[in-house]
Copies of this chain bind each other. A is one copy, B any other.
Amino acid sequence: MAVKEFALSCPVPISDYPTVTLAHGGGGKLMHDLIQRMMLPAFRNDALDAQHDGAVFSVGSARLAFTTDSYVVRPLFFPGGDIGSMAVNGTVNDLSMCGARPLYLSCGMILEEGLPMETLWRVVESMRIAAAAAGVSLVTGDTKVVDKGKGDGIFINTAGVGAIEHGLTIAPQSVRVGDAVILSGDVGRHGVAIMAVREGLEFETVIESDCAPLNGPVQKLIASGVEVHCLRDLTRGGLATTLIEIAESSKLQIQIEERAVPVREDVTGACEMLGFDPLYLANEGRFIAFVPVNEADRALEILRGEELEAVRIGEVSAGLPGMVTMKSRIGTTRILDMLSGEQLPRIC
Contact with B along A6-29 (1 / 0, CB 8 A): 110011101001111111111000
Assembled-state Cα–Cα distance A95/B200 (Å): 46
Q: How far is the CA of A127 from the CA of B38 in the complex (A)?
A: 12
Given the interface pairs A1-B82, A7-B118, A19-B115, the reply to whether A47 lies near B152 with Cβ below 8 Å is no
A174 to chain B, nearest CB (A): 18
- Cβ–Cβ contact B12 & A66, under 8 A: no
**CB of A76, distance to nearest CB on chain B (Å):** 11
Given known contacts A18-B117, A25-B111, A72-B144, what 12 new A-B pairs fall within 8 Å (CB)? A3-B122, A20-B113, A24-B145, A38-B124, A42-B127, A43-B107, A43-B141, A55-B140, A59-B59, A62-B62, A64-B161, A155-B155
B129:A3 contact, CB within 8 angstroms: yes
Which single member of B11, B61, B66, B72 contacts A161 (CB below 8 Å)?
B66
- 20 A-B pairs with CB atoms under 8 Å apart are A1-B77, A1-B82, A1-B126, A3-B82, A3-B122, A4-B122, A6-B121, A10-B121, A20-B113, A20-B120, A24-B111, A42-B128, A45-B139, A57-B104, A59-B62, A59-B64, A106-B159, A145-B345, A151-B151, A157-B159
B126 lies within 8 A of A20 (CB): no
A55 surroundings in chain B (CB, below 8 A): 104, 106, 139-140
The one of B11, B57, B72, B155 in contact with A121, judged by C-beta atoms closer than 8 angstroms, is B11
Q: Which residues of B contact A104 (CB under 8 A)?
A: 47, 55, 57, 66
CB–CB A345/B147 < 8 A: yes
Complex-state Cα separation, A162 to B139, whole angstroms: 15
Pick from B6, B122, B141: contact of A39, CB below 8 A: B141
A interface residues, Cβ below 8 angstroms from B: 1-4, 6-7, 10-12, 14, 17-26, 31, 34-35, 38-39, 42-43, 45, 47-48, 54-55, 57, 59-62, 64, 66-72, 77, 82, 84, 103-104, 106-118, 120-122, 124-129, 131, 137-147, 149-152, 155, 157, 159, 161, 163, 345-346
CA distance A34 to B109 in the complex (A): 12
Taking a contact as CB atoms under 8 Å apart, the answer to whether A20 and B57 are in contact is: no
Contact B142 A70 (CB under 8 A): yes
Contact B139 A42 (CB under 8 A): no
Tell me how many chains of this kind the complex includes. 2
Give the shortest distance, in Å, between A278 (CB) and chain B (any CB).
22
Cross-chain contact B60 with A147 (CB below 8 angstroms):
no
Partner of A25, one of B61, B82, B143: B143
The residues of B that contact A121 with a CB separation of less than 8 Å are: 6-7, 10-12, 38
Of all A-B residue pairs in the complex, the 10 with the closest CB atoms, nearest first, are A25-B145, A159-B159, A55-B139, A68-B106, A157-B157, A60-B62, A47-B139, A10-B121, A70-B108, A62-B62
**A117-B68 in contact (CB<8A):** no
Of A3, A14, A109, most B-chain CB atoms within 10 Å: A3
Q: In the docked arrangement, what's the CA distance between A143 and B236, Å?
A: 11
Do A147 and B10 have beta carbons less than 8 Å apart?
A: no
Residue of B nearest to A56 (CB): B139
A25 to B143, CA, bound (A): 6
Among the interface residues A34, A72, A120, A139, which one has the most CB atoms of the partner chain B within 10 A? A139
Complex contact B3–A145 (CB within 8 A): no
